[in-house]
Structure 1
Amino acid sequence: MHISKVRSKRKTLFVEAVIDRKHADGAQRVQVVLQNGSDLFDLSDGLPQYRGMEVDRIDRKPDRVTFTNNQTIQVGEEAGVDRQLVWRDQIRHTIRQHLARQDQIDAAGHDVKTLSLFFVEQVADYVGDEAVLPGMFDELFREEWLRAGKPENQMPDPASVRVSYFPSTKTGVLKDTKGRASDAEFESRAYQEIIANKELILTKDNPRAFIFSHSALKEGWDNPNVFQVGFLRHTRSDLERRQQIGRGLRLPVNQAGRRVKDPAINRLTLVVDESFVEFRDGLNAEYEAAGGSKGEATELENADNEVLVRRRPELFDSDEFRELWKRIRYKARYRVSIIPDSLATVVAGSDHLDDLRFIQRRANVVQSATLEYDEHGHVITDEEAVSENRGERVLVTGQRLPDVVQLIEEQLQYGKFPLQLTRQTIANIVEHIITFDRDYGRYVLDDPERWARIVANAIRWETIEQMVDGINYEPVDEAEWYDAEVVFIDVETKTPPQPAKGNADPQSGVISDDGGRSLYDHVDYDSHVERAFARQLSNDPDRVKLFTKLPRRFKVATPVGEYAPDWAIVYEENGVERLYLVRETKDTRNLDDLDWDEKMRIKFAKRHFGAAPLGPVDYLHTTDKDGLLVVRRSRE
């Protein structure tokens, strides 16, 4: 428990404190107000550590509380927890995560420096004769460096990798702050110091990588390369969690100053002094209090559920993987050729133009309702009581009709799948539409902007459909092809969702590969179909010689966005023929049952793998029930 404050009201003393309370997910920290006779055992719903702790006396100057078991706790003190032991665990875990993350980033080929940030309880914990954190950090850094298997002779001096930023007076005296207006000058000076040196600390030539600070740093500092945040202090306000984790919610930059968008490394680890459930619920409450929607921050993952996914070196170095990788590692650019007249004819007859018939001339909208008032004079009329009617039609006279070709061109350049066509091609399409159905042309006078939006949508859909037959993939220079060491990094961390009420079987997760055929010792899945398919591959050692779930770092370019296929497989039938397969798994074999963009990516991917430099790659989409769909070739 933590004693926060003693206050007086009507000559009665009260104590503000934080205690643990029994919860379904373990102990949960709650705020309570104590007075003489308050029983912590009852207030905690029966936690045994509070048995016999009934408030016996409350004193002022010094502010303190004495309990019936003769234990006395002063304001600012915490009992029941050895804070230094907690700090050791937090610092150890942060250092461990830091070293592993830097190794992961280096293995992925990103020239990015990893930073970790600690928030301390008070400046005296880090600075001064009695400061314990520097020595504690140095000791744990040495231990974790050796534990990670790094050469002892390459270990940097731990003191050289840590740095602190604290508010100070003009004479350089470091100062604790509590966010009050009077502290603004001190905090401002600290922030300016951080901002002035932000670029310096991002360079690998600068050994400093662990930052200790006292204040929440608020809006004045947003270093993008903070991957770990250690909370060596308990949050003090409703805003502090969001301010503190915000220091790490930035896309990292590499040594060239460019943003890195690899989702495999862009993960922020929070090392807190409370349970995951308590931290998550408190953070959600802060977002809601700030006007966010409920559940906005529930993307937090509990590191206690973290799984290390390790690459199997014997398979990575095998002939099977080497041959598979040779066939699929290429990158390709695509070129598209479309016959304008053919496209114009297809668009003119497209079902996507049907909405043109429902365009009405623009008009004012008239809303009316009977106002109802409560006893305080506030209007309480419900929205459902409001009626709406069309008013006078808007007539535009004396103005030229907008250039609909330009309007369509602008619409095509925005949206989910931008498309660029020449003005001549667009004009040709418009002419075909009006010729195909003269009513279509009449509606453009009623609402030119909406007319252009509907036509642009039809053009986009039909053009991309036409691209499947007119697309050609050409491999780029081999120097730009994928590197296996970058795509298949040595170790990855996965944090699968845990079963919860109403969600006993999550759609995504991680399963171990007991068959020994997966390139990694665990396989992550994004659907129940993928999970079942992975188990089929793992349980077929006679024919499946090797398989891997392709990381999302491996992508194929398509006109509807980048596409990441699911599986790469080495297959052998009766020891006669070895096949190298790429498979996409869905819950249906009927492409028309999929979302349109999913369907189109699969169609374009088939053209991509058909242009492989060493010959077409066997690419298909399948389901867990249909299996690998291997075509049995006749033997000559």
Structure 2
Amino acid sequence: MKLKFKTQAYQTAAIQAVVDCFKGQPPASSEAISYRIDPGQSKAQTDSLFSDAGFKNADLLLSDSTLLDNIQQVQRQQNLTVSDALAKTKIARVNLDVEMETGTGKTYCYIKTIFELNKLYGWSKFIIVVPSIAIREGVAKSLQITADHFLESYHKRVRFFIYNSKELHHLESFSSDAGINVMVINVQAFNATGKDNRRIYDVLDDFQSRRPIDVISANRPILILDEPQKMEGAATLKSLEEFKALMVLRYSATHKTTHNKIHRLDALDAYNQKLVKKIAVRGISVKGLTGTAGYLYLQSIEIFSKKPPEARVEFEQKLAGGSIKRVVRKLGKGDNLFELSNELDQYRDGFVVADINANTDTLSFTNGVELNVGDATGDVTEAVLRRIQIREAIKAHFDKEQVLFQQGVKVLTLFFIDEVAKYRDYASADEKGEYARVFEEEYLLYLNEVLDQDETPYIKYLKGISADKTHSGYFSIDKKSKRLADPKVAARGENAGLSDDVDAYDLILKDKERLLSLSEPVRFIFSHSALREGWDNPNVFVICALKHSDNTISRRQEVGRGLRLSVNQSGDRMDHPATVHDVNVLTVVASESYKDFVAALQKDISESLSARPRVADETYFTGKVLKTETGDIEVTPQLAKQIYKYLLKHDYTDSADHITEAYHEAKKDGELATLPPELAPHAEQVFKLIDSVFSESQLPEIGDDRKPKKNPLNANFDKQEFKELWNRINRKAAYSVDFDSDELVRKAVKELDTSLRVTPLQYTIQRGEQADTVTYDGIKAGNAFELKVTETEANRASIHSAVKYDLIGKLAEGTQLTRRTVTDILKGINAVVFAQFKTNPESFIAEAIRLINEQKATVIIEHLAYDPVEDKFDLDIFTAGQSKQDFSNAVKTPKHHIYDFVLPDSGSKPERDFAVALESSAEVVVYAKLPRGFLIPTPVGDYNPDWAISFKEGAVKHIYFVAETKGSMSSMDLREIERTKIKCARKFFDEMNRRFALENVKYDVVDSFGKLMEVVK
């Protein structure tokens, strides 16, 4: 399998944030950056092997004030805290922080940023500094697998290598090559005390009597620090000064020391934007039963549509020979454990099932003993706890796999252990360790239950995999015995508990793509916890730590190995907005109670959001930016006061100006109080700004993984009226756009003349005079020039006219229009507007692309056409994706709905009220909350309507209706993308009605059942 990469808006935003900090920096020419590489002492060898010519990064020509202005503008665009000064350090003049949550692709982002900085400014020498071997190997793998992807976009490849003090010839190529060059280096290579690791500072005979660090620093490299919080020791920071960096870009999910932060995508942003997996937990709570040593473990409660719920319980049972074993059985109300255990005395007194409550997930006995799902009681040893964890991981794996197999998604389960002997015991005849043996026993037990189903492709898949082939161990390998071995682990520092075993990480990374294939039988992976950072496989869906918990690993680190969104068999990310969190759910099998694990994880997440503002007062809102379709609006003190008074009036803030839970509940239910008139036109942006103020109520919900309630189809699904409704709406189509280029040209010219405004370039004038002596660190350096005056001026003419721009080509590339159409647009615009190109070409190109694309989108929708295709939706879209559903706001619907429950989107109160009204209506025959797999293609993304309804009109006639429910009918309250999708849906249904000789299907947007009935009648 080959992983695929695509342009993601959230990643583009992170890249653009860095690029925009250097607006006005002229592109470098090869003449400006060439220099003579230090040839060293061995001249003959140098002449025969190496080139004298080197190419370094061009100097950063922008003044401090211009850089700060650029940085502040980037920060305002994202409503980040605005820096009051450049965060200069001894390492570099410019230090930018980019915050990105684990699993969102920060490595991809900084690799693409390298390409963009090279494309726009000509910088070509980069050093990626990492804190550990695991991250180093992962970065190298990312550079390798993204090479073809970036070649398509930039028509260039990165030349990269991992720094090795014994392979210094790479440094010569790094310096002499004019293309994009990247060196990956871990801090131990320049900051450890070992002799080999300090060679970077030594004058080396095998390097022409030069110091490697001098050859590196001559390139004025751009440093990219991956996980900088792990590299903040005094020695490390001092060593980084030696690189003489042009600038430092720092990428992390958890910055400890902040500089100029220019981008934020924190844990809350990543979850809300559905960029990472949703987290679920299976906790195990060990507690004692008074007066008995009887062992019990309540694994789950299962519900059914046609019979009472059952409890899946493990208990002890006496065998014929008198020995005792533990068995798992399903219990129903009235079952007696004393009888089922073959009369074990420990279950004699009142262990008869009194109640099984599927709502509270509790099992009650007649003696008053009550267990919650995940509770283990009685004789729970370490071995018993680990067996329960392994069993739960296997069950979680199968639960996910049965759903995802038909979507072509391979499910991987990752076990972390603390010693190899638990998995591979070379003293045993079969070499199976305790965990491997337990795994196979529990796997076969559960597999037999799964196989007791109708023959399907999934069942055939399972039958083709043997238990001993479906798990494998990834550990260090002893070079002498060739056996698996415990890795060497760092005892101190930021990397305490991690291994530096390159071979083990190499094995993990080499098998990354292979493990994603359904043809590979390995689905369960055992690995040493010291290798955890090497695992970034996107299809890890279950994580189980079979080890003693310690304080060196936070809960957030534990789940971090499985946060990446999964891929299917084609290498495509499963990131469709409508279904992303149905597919991508990471289950953590914890060795503590669900409540304790979640509390600790929520605490970790909350602490990671410490940089977020916590107070919603006038000061915070003043100066922030509201992004609107017509441009950015700065929040004035008057508007800030209006926002503050609105929150205060409706008790959305408390006495300390913290956002209250009442605000978040009202927003979730669609019942937020109406904004005052001054703010109403910008409602979405105002609420987004309020949401940027952190409160505990915003923390992601972390579900109990044992509660996957089912929502079965009922008899309404088989009604003739629903079949007729489904036959009318079950249409697929392809869209096309056939518009007149002249129309686009006219609209684009008008918009450019009206809105295109370019900021002039600034440049720096420095004046100085010769001084007699200049001193560096107390040493006289001879005659030099002393800087006296620095001035910054704006220039209305191009200050780098020697650089040639392919203006038409750039605009054609950015707008995906032909060069002829772009030429016609440029010919049509006002000469004064066009003249701005000379003052700042980069700004002119960027703004022109944005404005033309806006007009292009308008024209596309106006000229959109749908053509039916023969393909239709399969009925299985009504049953797919039911592994994780939120029943907290469900409406019981036995009357008209095709499912037993309506599950409103995100707990939406308008949708819930709508469903209740549909159930009580005499005019409604049958209706469906359309599944997320029912999609209409549009140029701005797939669209999933809310409802399909069949109304009765007279004795035989029916009206068929597709409805979209919104909390407000005002177009101002809808996002532009929503309005566009609704326009497309109208065209889709109009075309389907026209093409097919059937009773028309009506489509409209309503905010209530009353409004729906007005439209229908």
- TM bin, normalised by shorter chain, reads 0.5 to 0.7
Contact 1:305–1:495 (8 Å) recurs in 2: no
Corresponding residue SS for 1:101: helix
- Hey, what's the Cα distance between the residues in 2 that align with 1:111 and 1:166? 28
* Contact 1:518–1:547, Cα closer than 8 Å, also in 2: yes
- For structure 1, list consecutive stretches of 5 or more residues without a partner in the other structure: 1-47, 50-79, 367-387, 413-419, 497-508
TM-aligned CA distance change 1:95 to 1:512, over 3 Å: farther
Query: Which one of 456, 464, 473 corresponds to residue 849 of structure 2?
Result: 456
How far, CA to CA, are the matches of 1:217 and 1:453 in structure 2?
44
Q: 2:385 and 2:882 mapped to 1: Cα distance?
A: 28
More displaced 10-residue stretch of structure 1: 557-566 or 319-328: 319-328
- In the alignment, is the contact (CA less than 8 A) between 2:896 and 2:924 conserved in 1? no
Residue 194 of structure 1, CA deviation: 4.4
Corresponding residue for 2:818? 422
Match of 1:618 in 2: 1002
* Alignment counterpart, residue 546 of structure 1, candidates 910, 917, 927: 927
* 1:53 aligned residue: none
After TM superposition, give the deviation of residue 545 of structure 1 in Å: 0.9
Identify the residue that residue 105 of structure 1 maps to in structure 2.
Answer: 404
Deviations 1:128-175 (A, max 9, x none): 469543443344334434555735997866445333334342315544
| CA offsets 1:86-136 (integer angstroms, 9 cap, x no match) | 323322322222111111113xx3233322111124334334469543443
From the superposition, tell whether residues 213 and 445 of structure 1 become closer, same or farther in structure 2 (CA, over 3 Å): closer
TM-score by length of 2: 0.44
Secondary structure at the aligned position of 1:395 is classed as: coil
Q: Report the equivalent of 1:31.
A: none
Name the CA distance, whole Å, in 1 between partners of 2:861 and 2:454. 57
SS at match of 1:212: strand
CA distance in 1: counterparts of 2:607 and 2:433, whole angstroms: 32
Distance in structure 1 (CA, Å) of the matches to 2:511 and 2:743: 60
Q: CA–CA distance in 2 between the matches of 1:187 and 1:321?
A: 61
| Structure 2 equivalent of residue 606 of structure 1 | 986
What CA distance in whole angstroms lies between the structure 1 residues aligned with 2:922 and 2:477? 66
Q: Are the counterparts in 2 of residues 110 and 254 from structure 1 also a CA contact under 8 Å?
A: yes
User: What is the rounded CA distance, in whole Å, between the counterparts of 1:314 and 1:88 in structure 2?
Assistant: 42
1: CA distance between counterparts of 2:589 and 2:916?
34
Partners of 1:441 and 1:166 in 2: CA distance: 63
SS at match of 1:492: coil
Quote the Cα distance in structure 2 between the aligned partners of 1:392 and 1:590: 45
Alpha-carbon spacing, 1:239–1:119, altered in 2? closer, same or farther (3 Å):
same
Counterpart in the other structure of 1:381: none
Give 1:572 shift. 2.5
Instruction: Give 3-state SS (helix, strand or coil) of 2:883's partner.
Output: strand
Question: C-alpha offsets along residues 240-267 of structure 1, whole Å, 9 cap, x if unaligned?
Answer: 7566534433444444555544523222
Shift of 1:604: 1.2
Deviations 1:529-583 (A, max 9, x none): 33332333333365141212331x3322222222222222233245543232222
In structure 2, the residue corresponding to 1:227 is in which secondary structure? strand
Find the counterpart in structure 1 of residue 386 from structure 2.
87
Distance change (3 Å), C-alpha of 1:632 and 1:330: closer
Q: Which letter does structure 1 place at the counterpart of 2:438? A: M
**8 A Cα contact 2:962 2:1004, kept in partner:** yes
Q: 1:307 to 1:177 in 2, by over 3 A?
A: same
Q: 1:185 to 1:445 in 2, by over 3 A?
A: closer
Inter-CA distance 295–122: structure 2 relative to 1 (3 Å threshold): farther
- CA offset digits 1:575-625 (Å, max 9, x no partner): 543232222222222334422222111111211122225355321111136
Give the letter for the 2:1006 counterpart: T
Q: Which amino acid aligns with 1:472?
A: A
Change (3 A) 1:243 1:411: same
Partner amino acid, structure 1, of 2:394: I
Who is 1:118 aligned against? 415
2:874 equivalent in structure 1: 483
Is the contact between residue 280 and residue 300 of structure 1 (CA under 8 Å) also seen in structure 2?
A: no
Choose 533-542 or 154-163, whichever is displaced more.
154-163
Contact persistence 1:353–1:454 (CA under 8 A)? no
Q: Deviations over 1:424-450 (max 9, x none)?
A: 33333344442xxx6544544444443
Task: Write the distance in 2 (CA, Å) between the matches of 1:301 and 1:403.
Answer: 51
**How well do the aligned residues superpose, as a CA RMSD in angstroms?**
4.3
Indicate if the aligned counterparts of 2:543 and 2:588 stay in contact, CA closer than 8 A.
yes
Equivalent in 530, 543, 551 of residue 229 of structure 1: 543
Aligned residue in 1 for 2:787 = none
Choose from 881, 890, 899 the match for 1:511. Answer: 890
Q: Which residue is 1:393 aligned to?
A: 795
Instruction: Tell whether 2:720 aligns with 1:411.
Output: no
- Counterpart residue number, 2:490: 180
Structure 1 residues 173 and 464: CA distance shift in structure 2, 3 A:
closer
Q: Deviations over 1:270-318 (max 9, x none)?
A: 1122423344146437967999x99999546222584424231534444
State how far apart, in whole Å, the 2-side matches of 1:178 and 1:574 are: 80
Pick from 953, 962, 967: which aligns with 1:582?
A: 962
Alignment of 1:251-270 (within 5 A): 251-255=565-569, 259-261=573-575, 263=580, 264-270=582-588
Q: CA 1:393–1:165 in 2, change beyond 3 Å: closer, same or farther? A: closer
Q: 1:164 aligns with which of 448, 456, 473?
A: 473
Match of residue 140 from structure 1: 442
**Matched ranges for 1:262-301 at <5 A:** 263=580, 264-274=582-592, 275-281=596-602, 283-284=604-605, 299=700, 301=702
Aligned to 2:952: 572
| Cα separation, partners in 2 of 1:611 and 1:207, compared to 1, 3 Å | same
Q: Which moved more, 1:267-276 or 1:303-312?
A: 303-312
Contact 1:353 1:458 in 2 (8 A): no
Number of equivalent positions: 506
Corresponding letter in the other structure for 1:513: K
8 Å CA contact 1:242, 1:286 repeated in 2: no
Match of 1:314 among 715, 732, 736: 715
Q: Is contact 2:535-2:561 (8 Å) kept?
A: yes
Alpha carbons of structure 1 residues 144 and 580: separation in structure 2 relative to 1, 3 Å: farther
**Is 1:323 the counterpart of 2:632 in the alignment?**
no
What is the alpha-carbon distance in structure 1 between the residues aligned to residue 467 and residue 416 of structure 2?
18
Name whichever of 80-89 and 228-237 sits farther off.
Answer: 80-89
Task: Encode CA deviations 1:49-106: one digit per residue, 9 max, x unaligned.
Answer: 9xxxxxxxxxxxxxxxxxxxxxxxxxxxxxx974334323322322222111111113
Change (3 A) 1:494 1:216: farther
The alpha carbon displacement at 1:510 in A equals: 4.3
AA aligned opposite 1:391: E
Secondary structure of the residue that 1:560 maps to in structure 2?
Answer: coil
Match of 2:739 in 1: 338
Q: Which moved more, 1:218-227 or 1:294-303?
A: 294-303
* Cα distance in structure 2, aligned partners of 1:472 and 1:152: 43
Q: Map 1:10-29; keep pairs closer than 5 Å.
A: none
Counterpart Cα distance in 2 of 1:159 and 1:194: 20
- Using the alignment, how far apart are the partners of 2:474 and 2:799 within structure 1? 66
